[in-house]
Structure 1
Amino acid sequence: MSTAEPDTQALAALFEPESIAVVGASEDATRMGGGLILRFLDLHGYGGTIYPVNPKYEAVNGLKCFPSLADIPDPIDLAVLSVPATVVRRTVEALEPGHVKCFLIITSGFGELGEEGKRIESELMDLIRDKGGRAVGPNSVGSINLWNGVVPSITQLLDRKDVEPGNVALASQSGAVGAAILTEAERQGIGTGHFVSSGNEADLEFSDYAGYLISDDRVGIIGGYIESIRKGAGFIDVSRAALQAGKPLIVLKVGKSDAGAVAARSHTGALVGSDEVAQAVFDATGVVRAADGDQFIDYMKVFNKTPASRGKRIALVSHSGGAGVLAADAATDAGLDVAPLPEELRAKVAEILPDYAGFNNPLDATGPMVFRPDILAQCLRLLLEGDHYDAAVLSVKLIWRNGLELVEELTRLRADVGKPFAVSWVAPHENAMEAIRKAPFPVFSDPARAARNVAARLVYDERRRVLLADPKPARDVGPGVAGDAPLDQVEAQKAALAAYGVRLPREIIAATIQEAETFRAELDSPVAVKIASPDIIHRTEIGGVVTDVRGEDALAVACDMVNTNARRHHPDARIEGLLVQEMVRGGLEVLVGVKRDPVFGPMIVFGPGGTLVELIADVHMLPAPVSEAAARRVLEESVLGPMFRGFRGSGPLDVEALAKTIARVSWLAVDRPEIAELDLNPVLVLGDGEGCLAVDYKFTVEP
């Protein structure tokens, strides 16, 4: 299923059900299970029909109790299964097709237990699909929609009736971590309206939930705790949809280390792809990644309580010089512009501050201002109201007597000024704590932390503008242009590259030395001689390449050398002949390649090439297909950017031709899924208007 078009019927049955059946119902709300779920549904005022299911009881909490799910005469939107794993299958088997739209499986003991558990889980999913339903879980702690009291969950936060919804939606592959995030977010005044514990994701998975929630007007931010991404293409689709909708997608993606990846696999029973590839996808689609749980909460807070920004110029205000320095260092490190205070603003703030204030950026309002929160707020207002700054951080300490007044002043400012700002507030008085929690602006306990989080907001907004300006990838070569000849021969590989517009040097695959000499003589220039074999990937390492060959005798020696070396190192390799290629001089060497990731599919790789590959670690990846505009943008942002533009007397290089080559290679990767890897290295980028050539290429082809 494409997450661009999620299964809205099943997901609506999960988040907006008109009827809920609780299998495993009881009146015992002291243990995790059906009794607790029934209590929470009642406590939070669910207004739909509830069907308790348990053969032990005739009634539960005053509601008629049915012996089995199949005994309920009416169609059911959502069936919550909180019974032993063996009972889950029997419960589903007894149903007529179409009886239940969505199953929420709290029960554990499936795919997370190993191969046998995966087999049982897979059979259960097949059965559910045969019955016309979809499934959440297994191994889920439930779902929550606080907007309408749909809370079929065992999450303990629901034991409080006063939990208020907000514009954050959270999906978590760990029930415990998700519940902890949900609880801490509520403690810090971040309203979460929707939550789903996706469990093992045997059917519905993260991109399904996120894709559905993007279309909900009550949702402004989507958060995700992710251990493994099951459907890479679906994740890319939903990330781009969130970016388009202006709803930040914030993820806590774990499994970066080998130990973490192993733990993630054992937890969810799913493949964990390369973290570098995942990060490249996040960068390309505007996903905000948190490093840990604290940062995840911070990001949800700053995106929840600030509007979008228009630039990266930040104003810093404090009544402590030291706090201002901490904020300035953090803002600068994050790439923000801590621009000096313009003379116009200096004059305005000088009218309300003491003569000995520091009229710079950071603006040091001086210590006595702890007793004048109105003046601190006025300083912030003056800096934000004009066109000089895009955001601000106010750092305050030890404001005890006037804490509530400061919150009120800043609340008015938040309503009047459509720019993001955060407050660093160290040691607030207890009488202001609840007001701070409910404030419509984010409050942090440290100046640097406040600056870093405002920076995250500003960097995201700028990145969103850049990514949305990129046109969608468009073909200028047809999907069948290279035919369907197997790519397990050098001649076919060469033909495929040429068909997709990848320019190669003049070359032939010669069967004899005589053919090679005829070609060399026609060129009347030095050549390179390489062994032509689809089975020998690293030709240079075995002496399978000789460059700068001049004259007939040198050519004969070179041909004999590469042939002998190839036969000695790879006696069973298929040898198609000798690749004789004109030597091309000049230009900048770059790498263009394809890496097919098991989760995200083909990724386009580019960076410094030739001998620079191992010296300059600046490799970039983009999910295929890639537009020329996106390729050009990333090339210009890379460490090679100055060289493309012209560096120290050298002229500009043909970055347009390189971007076009990258885009065309990306379509080749999309059209030919048997390409596991492809290296064009080096690609020589010539002067502006002269194009680029792939001097060497290596295919790794899988059936």
Structure 2
Amino acid sequence: MSASTSSTAADRSSGLRRLLAAKSVVIVGMSSRPNSAGHIVLKNLRENDFTGGIHLVGRSEGDVDGLPILSDITKLPSGVDLAVLTVPAQSVAGTLEDCMKQQVGSAIVFASGFAETGEDGRKEQDRIGELVRSGGMVVVGPNCLGFTNYAEGFSITFVGVNKVPVMPKGTDDAVAIVSQSGGLANHLRHGLNSRGVAVSYNISTGNEMDLGLGDFVDHLVDDAATRVIMIYAEDIRRPDMFLRAAARARTAGKPLVMLFPGRSPHAREAAKSHTGALAGDYAVMKAKVERAGVHLVDTLDEFIDVAEILSRYPAPSRGGLGILTFSGAFCGIAHDFCADLGVEIPVLSAPTENELRELLPSFISPKNPIDLGTEAVWKPELVGAGVAALLKEPSIGAVAISIPIVSPSHARAYIEHVVAAKAGSAKPVAMAMLGDQLPLPQEFADIARANKVIVSRSSDRILKAMARIVRQPPVASDVPAVVSRQRPDLPGGTLPEWLGKTLLQSEGINVPQGKLVGNLDEALKVANEIGYPVVIKAQAAALAHKTEAGGVILNLADRDALSAAWATLHANIQNAQPGLALEGVLVEKMSARGLELVVGGRRDPRWGPVVLLGLGGIMVEALQDVRLVAADATKEEFVAELAKLKAAKMLYGFRNMAPVDVEATAEVAVAIGRLLLEMPEISDIEVNPLMVYERGHGAIALDALIVSTGN
């Protein structure tokens, strides 16, 4: 049952408001034992001057801190906003049922002992999740640490008692943290606060029996104080919901930054398809969330750095990096670093070079990166001139500065000139002040913070974070409308090649000229019609690996060669798979040599369809140099992804190789994506090899492996 089966989106939105800004709370599982979870929750409410109603329910009646302990939930007044469950796992289901009878709006479950314990625990967790959704109540947890609302000073947690630092009224640039790890979330909050970045919410989602990451993202999109949402995820349990929320956040101009561990390849087997084996869970997730506009980061440092930049510059420009330094050595370091990151250091335009040439001493080259050498020690105004020039360049999306402190007075002069230079520009500016732990003057930090200049002590971190910002994902297009096409009916299982190619042809993908035949006479007739040389291929759904079985014979030059090969092919098949009945033999025109690529696709059971691009033939297995792309990507996006292959040089002219038809390859990828989007019965597609020819001469699918669940 989905969340929408028994409760509407409005109901869940109302439930989230009652959870995160409750006006009345009941603590269930209260005991007389001091420092128990219930007592800590109560102390946090008291410490933060909670003025709403507080109710206690325990096994036996009594009182705590002047509040009576009720022995039965049914004695509660109807309509309490939030129930805090401090009961053991085995009591959670019954407690939630009792809460729903009393019209409690939301609940938080601290107890562990559910999905993290194994399959039985997962089943019980799922059962309870269905139960609460059918009852219209929202629940966070189990196995979570709680949450804090910094806008209202409202905290529900059993880990320590703390006074919540309430955000100033009118804050509109805060970061909200939604995390499947409560401990990590606190680290993130402290890191942001130390940089002067406000945190609006810190939410630990735990096992997500009901409310998940997508629910909280969707809710926070409408929060006036929140500008950026940070997400730590180890599993996105409802990808469709999450992607819808991410799309809404992007439309609202609220960036999402996510850290998701699991980049190590754990390929999943998928029905006899290399595509399935190469497309691991992380890679599929990455393709989907980046297409939705999520900034997916690799490290904790980058997580905090990117969130800080976006809190100050929520809509940065795409482009390359402008770099200013006092060190020629750093110019080379920056070029290497940015090349590894896949971000450009653009060449400056002629007008900008001329402008800089007039401002800079004759021995300073007006190029990006700008190296001021020691001249800025005597003329700190040159820092401002360089930054202003870089910011004016349309090809530059952000400016990174890497310079030493020199002295407190120099540091102040540098930041003042940088602030003056960036006035009127919306492009991010970051300064890496070298010197490791050498203290920065406080006035420098104050001026930088007041004027949205990002400050770091690490050039590497600045470059990496800024590169992530300016390489933000392109805006996702709408899913293309379904087009009426004459497509063959598909049986279940692995399709024989001839039928797979018939389907590809219906999408406008070129396949070799040829025909399926049943005997040698028909084969000779077809070969005569299409012209020699030809190739023959045994056809049967149960023959997925024709080449290994000797079921493919190439380059047959004439009638005699074809006749001899016909007998050889049938003998090979009987030796490899005795008794196998062929559907026929595919006779095709032998294709010219080109560059072998693979274009495939798979339907992930949770994330939906993705398209795979890479080197073809056996190289796809040997090198695993592939890119995964959302199935609804545009031709331009596929072209951009092909350029990110490690072997991309081979596409654009390498040594004596001519550039190949990348655009034709992208068109094939669009068609494969369209098939996956419009034909849900297709689980896997692999065109390998796709023979790609010189630019302008197209591409042709030499083999097709398609797996279908049937109509």
* TM interval, short-chain normalised: 0.7 to 0.9
What is the aligned partner in structure 2 of residue 267 from structure 1?
none
- What secondary structure, in the 3-state scheme, does the structure 2 residue paired with 1:234 have? helix
**Contact residue 529 and residue 578 of structure 1 kept, 8 A:** yes
Structure 2 residue 514 is matched with structure 1 residue 486:
no
CA RMSD of aligned residues (A): 4.1
**Whole-angstrom CA distance in 1 between matches of 2:56 and 2:421:** 50
- What secondary structure, in the 3-state scheme, does the structure 2 residue paired with 1:139 have? coil
**Whole-angstrom CA distance in 2 between matches of 1:336 and 1:27:** 63
Residues 575 and 45 (structure 1 numbering): CA distance in 2 closer, same or farther, change over 3 Å?
farther
- What secondary structure, in the 3-state scheme, does the structure 2 residue paired with 1:138 have? coil
AA of the residue aligned to 2:608: G
| Most deviating of 438-447 and 216-225 | 438-447
| Most deviating of 651-660 and 295-304 | 651-660
**Whole-angstrom CA distance in 1 between matches of 2:548 and 2:541:** 15
1:613-662, Cα deviation, whole Å (9 max, x unpaired): 46775422212234444334434665787877788999886655543432
- Count of aligned positions: 681
What is the aligned partner in structure 2 of residue 266 from structure 1?
none
Deviation at 1:299, TM superposition (A): 1.9
AA of the residue aligned to 1:428: P
1:44-99, Cα deviation, whole Å (9 max, x unpaired): 44454443333445544444544343332221333221221122122123244581
Residues 95 and 637 (structure 1 numbering): CA distance in 2 closer, same or farther, change over 3 Å?
closer
What is the aligned partner in structure 2 of residue 420 from structure 1?
428
Q: 1:606-621 counterparts in 2 under 5 A?
A: 606-610=613-617, 613=620, 618-621=625-628
**Contact residue 654 and residue 685 of structure 1 kept, 8 A:** yes
1:256-285, Cα deviation, whole Å (9 max, x unpaired): 337999xxxxxxxxxx95333333334433
What is the aligned partner in structure 1 of residue 512 from structure 2?
505
**Contact residue 29 and residue 58 of structure 2 kept, 8 A:** yes
Among 431, 437, 448, the alignment partner of 2:460 is 448
Structure 2 residue 478 is matched with structure 1 residue 472:
yes
What is the aligned partner in structure 1 of residue 565 from structure 2?
558
- What secondary structure, in the 3-state scheme, does the structure 1 residue paired with 2:156 have? coil
**Whole-angstrom CA distance in 1 between matches of 2:185 and 2:579:** 54
- What secondary structure, in the 3-state scheme, does the structure 2 residue paired with 1:456 have? helix
Residues 331 and 627 (structure 1 numbering): CA distance in 2 closer, same or farther, change over 3 Å?
closer
What is the aligned partner in structure 1 of residue 18 from structure 2?
13
- What secondary structure, in the 3-state scheme, does the structure 2 residue paired with 1:124 have? helix
**Whole-angstrom CA distance in 2 between matches of 1:97 and 1:658:** 59
Deviation at 1:317, TM superposition (A): 4.2
**Whole-angstrom CA distance in 2 between matches of 1:220 and 1:480:** 48
Deviation at 1:129, TM superposition (A): 2.5
**Whole-angstrom CA distance in 1 between matches of 2:26 and 2:479:** 46
**Contact residue 290 and residue 296 of structure 2 kept, 8 A:** no
Residues 103 and 413 (structure 1 numbering): CA distance in 2 closer, same or farther, change over 3 Å?
farther
Q: 1:523-562 counterparts in 2 under 5 A?
A: 523-562=530-569
Deviation at 1:610, TM superposition (A): 3.5
What is the aligned partner in structure 2 of residue 67 from structure 1?
71
**Whole-angstrom CA distance in 1 between matches of 2:649 and 2:420:** 46
- What secondary structure, in the 3-state scheme, does the structure 2 residue paired with 1:179 have? helix
What is the aligned partner in structure 1 of residue 151 from structure 2?
147
**Whole-angstrom CA distance in 1 between matches of 2:216 and 2:364:** 52
AA of the residue aligned to 2:26: A
AA of the residue aligned to 1:190: V
- What secondary structure, in the 3-state scheme, does the structure 1 residue paired with 2:511 have? coil
AA of the residue aligned to 1:151: S
- What secondary structure, in the 3-state scheme, does the structure 2 residue paired with 1:129 have? helix
**Whole-angstrom CA distance in 1 between matches of 2:384 and 2:408:** 19
Among 661, 665, 669, the alignment partner of 2:668 is 661
**Whole-angstrom CA distance in 2 between matches of 1:62 and 1:380:** 66
Residues 692 and 65 (structure 1 numbering): CA distance in 2 closer, same or farther, change over 3 Å?
same
Residues 366 and 46 (structure 1 numbering): CA distance in 2 closer, same or farther, change over 3 Å?
farther
Residues 315 and 590 (structure 1 numbering): CA distance in 2 closer, same or farther, change over 3 Å?
closer
1:336-375, Cα deviation, whole Å (9 max, x unpaired): 426567342354466xxxx9988765556676977998x5
1:430-487, Cα deviation, whole Å (9 max, x unpaired): 7569848955332211233323322222222xx4xxx22x643424633894446435
Deviation at 1:193, TM superposition (A): 0.8
**Contact residue 316 and residue 393 of structure 1 kept, 8 A:** yes
AA of the residue aligned to 1:458: V
- What secondary structure, in the 3-state scheme, does the structure 2 residue paired with 1:455 have? helix
**Whole-angstrom CA distance in 1 between matches of 2:659 and 2:391:** 42
AA of the residue aligned to 1:100: V
AA of the residue aligned to 1:168: V
**Whole-angstrom CA distance in 2 between matches of 1:158 and 1:231:** 33
| Most deviating of 363-372 and 232-241 | 363-372
Q: 1:641-652 counterparts in 2 under 5 A?
A: none
What is the aligned partner in structure 1 of residue 356 from structure 2?
345
Deviation at 1:141, TM superposition (A): 0.8
Q: 1:261-340 counterparts in 2 under 5 A?
A: 274-306=281-313, 308-310=315-317, 312=319, 314-318=321-325, 330-331=337-338, 333-334=340-341, 335-337=343-345, 339=347
Q: 1:575-586 counterparts in 2 under 5 A?
A: 575-585=582-592
Among 84, 109, 112, the alignment partner of 2:113 is 109
Residues 412 and 195 (structure 1 numbering): CA distance in 2 closer, same or farther, change over 3 Å?
farther
* Structure 2 residue runs without a partner (length 5+): 269-278
- What secondary structure, in the 3-state scheme, does the structure 2 residue paired with 1:247 have? coil
What is the aligned partner in structure 2 of residue 518 from structure 1?
525
| Paired-residue identity, % | 27
| Most deviating of 412-421 and 546-555 | 412-421
**Whole-angstrom CA distance in 1 between matches of 2:326 and 2:655:** 46
Structure 2 residue 61 is matched with structure 1 residue 53:
no
**Whole-angstrom CA distance in 2 between matches of 1:656 and 1:366:** 44
Deviation at 1:229, TM superposition (A): 2.5
Residues 630 and 406 (structure 1 numbering): CA distance in 2 closer, same or farther, change over 3 Å?
closer
What is the aligned partner in structure 2 of residue 623 from structure 1?
630
What is the aligned partner in structure 1 of residue 132 from structure 2?
128
Q: 1:453-464 counterparts in 2 under 5 A?
A: 453-460=465-472, 463=473
What is the aligned partner in structure 2 of residue 184 from structure 1?
191
**Contact residue 242 and residue 248 of structure 1 kept, 8 A:** yes
1:576-633, Cα deviation, whole Å (9 max, x unpaired): 2222223233554332212333432322112333465467754222122344443344
**Whole-angstrom CA distance in 2 between matches of 1:688 and 1:358:** 38
AA of the residue aligned to 2:590: M
**Contact residue 397 and residue 427 of structure 2 kept, 8 A:** yes
Deviation at 1:688, TM superposition (A): 6.9
1:538-558, Cα deviation, whole Å (9 max, x unpaired): 111221101122444322322
Among 19, 24, 39, the alignment partner of 2:43 is 39
1:554-585, Cα deviation, whole Å (9 max, x unpaired): 22322222222222222365532222223233
AA of the residue aligned to 2:345: D
**Contact residue 349 and residue 382 of structure 1 kept, 8 A:** no
**Whole-angstrom CA distance in 2 between matches of 1:358 and 1:682:** 48
AA of the residue aligned to 1:76: V
Residues 109 and 699 (structure 1 numbering): CA distance in 2 closer, same or farther, change over 3 Å?
same
1:102-143, Cα deviation, whole Å (9 max, x unpaired): 322111111101122112222222322332223222101112
**Whole-angstrom CA distance in 2 between matches of 1:507 and 1:259:** 39
**Contact residue 68 and residue 91 of structure 1 kept, 8 A:** no
AA of the residue aligned to 2:27: V
1:171-222, Cα deviation, whole Å (9 max, x unpaired): 1112222222223332333322122211112222222222332233322212
**Contact residue 150 and residue 201 of structure 2 kept, 8 A:** yes
What is the aligned partner in structure 2 of residue 268 from structure 1?
none
